[in-house]
Amino acid sequence: MSTDWLGSLVSINCGVTLGVYQGAVSCVDHASQTISLRQPYRNGVRCPVPEVTFSAMDIMELKFQDIQNTVKRSSEQGSATEPSFISAGAHGQSNRATNDSAHSSSAPITILRRVPAGSSNSRGAAHATQRRNGLRSAGARGQVRSKDDECFGDGTDEDLDTDFDFEGNLALFDKAAVFSQIDGTSGHSNKVQHQSAQAEQRPQSYRHDQNILEGKPIIYRQITVPLHGGKEYCTDSGLVVPCIPFKLHKRLLEAAEHWGLSVKRRLETIGVCSSQMALSLLGGPNRLNPKNIHQKPIVVLLCGPHSQGAQGVSCGRHLANHEVEVILFLPSFVKMDESVTREVSLYSRTSGVQVASVSELPASPVDLVINCLGSHENPQLREQSWYQSAADWANRNRAPVLSIDPPVSERTVEAKWTLSLGLPLPLAGNESKLYLCDIGIPKLVYQEVGISYHSPFGCKFVIPLHPVQ
């Protein structure tokens, strides 16, 4: 009957260690209880040998692939059961076999159980095999195996009698290739050169703040003046901003007024920009919000009866419109400039307070003092008593001072910040931090007075300036 199964396609499961084999039956030996497969596949991979022989005790499960032919042959013989060669020990536990990698020739191999002769482990292995077979048969009858056998009994004795194939494993190690890499041979150097060439061909990477478009080199000195004031400053981006003398500054304002930038429009621009800077110095949204109405900032404006004083009054009007408590000091016993009168009239429509005496100013420190006492046209004002009293009060109040467009020789009030208009003036001994305000003078107006001008303001109307060392 063994010849009836020759040529049948079968699948033999030999456990996790040996794997699953598929192939055609080439030989069935009842005496030795073995079966041979030709052109076998192990775990889906073609075996390097033409034939493999299995012992019945290594086979855990045997399946026929060509079911129709198998059933036909079995029915002709009057039996539909398994072949007789696997009747004894067909479900034995798989043990690792010797599968030497050196046996890669075409000669067939036999997978059999190897137990050294006279080994003390043979009796224990046989007992373990019988015990496992008994457990499997008991499990087939529906009985539950013990917890120890489930956790530790299955597969613990499989690898105890397996010899490691040192020669086969060493044959897989290519010493020449490894030492050639260590010694840095020509192949290694060629690989390094190839990698360096690829790195050169790879496009350059850029940071998030770098421009990927190629452009002209940056010119940092974009403003040139016919009359230099003797000092130079630079912006945060590195653009150079030179100082100009007051005579050139006056000619610039006259040219701008000729083209429509009147004093009224200029005062409004200066008032908006200076008030915005003052709001930032006071704390911005952290200080001015609906939830902080009990801590409104207090600002004192010290203004004179001239155009510089009118700039301070315009700034105070915008601050009062933003819910800042503004106190305006302006002497009433001196002749007022026409621009000051207009600004005071508009300021009176706000919630701001106006005083004419220094004694009416707060004795306690305030949040900010804005100084607009000095005049470019009339420097003798600083010798008058009201001027000196107001300056002394500002210096004693211990509040930070912001000076808007101070005269060149202004040293009476110690300011922490100074705001210049258009282009800075060479302030004598100025130790305060300098800021520059864009008052809206067009570029061609600068050119009329001989100034080559490119705006250094960027996206802002007030920028800080740093002295050039």
Q: Which domains does the chain have, with CATH numbers?
A: 2-169 (2.30.30.100), 232-467 (3.40.50.10260)
The whole-number pLDDT of residue 155 equals 52
Burial category of 144 from C-beta neighbours within 10 Å (exposed 0-12, middle 13-18, buried 19 and up): exposed
The whole-number pLDDT of residue 154 equals 53
The whole-number pLDDT of residue 160 equals 54
What tokens appear for 303 in the block?
A: 């203004």
What values do phi and psi take at 345, rounded to 5?
-60, -40
Burial category of 203 from C-beta neighbours within 10 Å (exposed 0-12, middle 13-18, buried 19 and up): exposed
At position 57, the amino acid (one-letter code) is M
What tokens appear for 468 in the block?
A: 């050039």
Residue owning tokens 């150097």: 189
List, in order, residues 6 or more apart from 178 with CB less than 8 Å away: none
At position 212, the amino acid (one-letter code) is I
The total number of residues written for the chain in this structure: 469
Return the sign of the alpha-carbon dihedral for residues 315, 316, 320, 321: negative
Residue pair 339/307 in contact (Cβ under 8 Å)? The answer is yes
Strand order through the sheet with 462-467: 240-242, 232-234, 462-467, 433-437, 417-421, 401-404, 368-372, 298-303, 325-329, 353-355
Residue 88: its H or E element:
none
Residue 396: its H or E element:
helix 385-396
The whole-number pLDDT of residue 194 equals 58
Please tell me whether residue 61 adopts helix, strand or coil conformation: strand
The whole-number pLDDT of residue 78 equals 42
Residue pair 159/120 in contact (Cβ under 8 Å)? The answer is no
The whole-number pLDDT of residue 182 equals 76
List, in order, residues 6 or more apart from 123 with CB less than 8 Å away: none
The whole-number pLDDT of residue 85 equals 42
- Alpha-carbon distance of 469 to 456, in angstroms, equals 19
DSSP string, 164-229: P-HHHHHHT--HHHHHHHHHT-HHHHHHHHHHHHHHHHSPPP--TTS--S--PPP-S---B-SS--
Helix 307-321 and helix 338-347: axis angle, to 10°? 10
pTM beyond 0.75: the answer is no
Neighbours of 420 (CB within 10 A): 22
Residue 233: its H or E element:
strand 232-234
Please tell me whether residue 19 adopts helix, strand or coil conformation: coil
Residue pair 424/436 in contact (Cβ under 8 Å)? The answer is yes
Which string of b and e fits 67-97 if b means at least 16 CB within 10 Å?
eeebeebbeeeeeeeebebbeeebbbbbbbb
Q: For the chain, which residues score pLDDT lower than 70? A: 1-2, 66-162, 184-204, 211-212, 214-215, 430
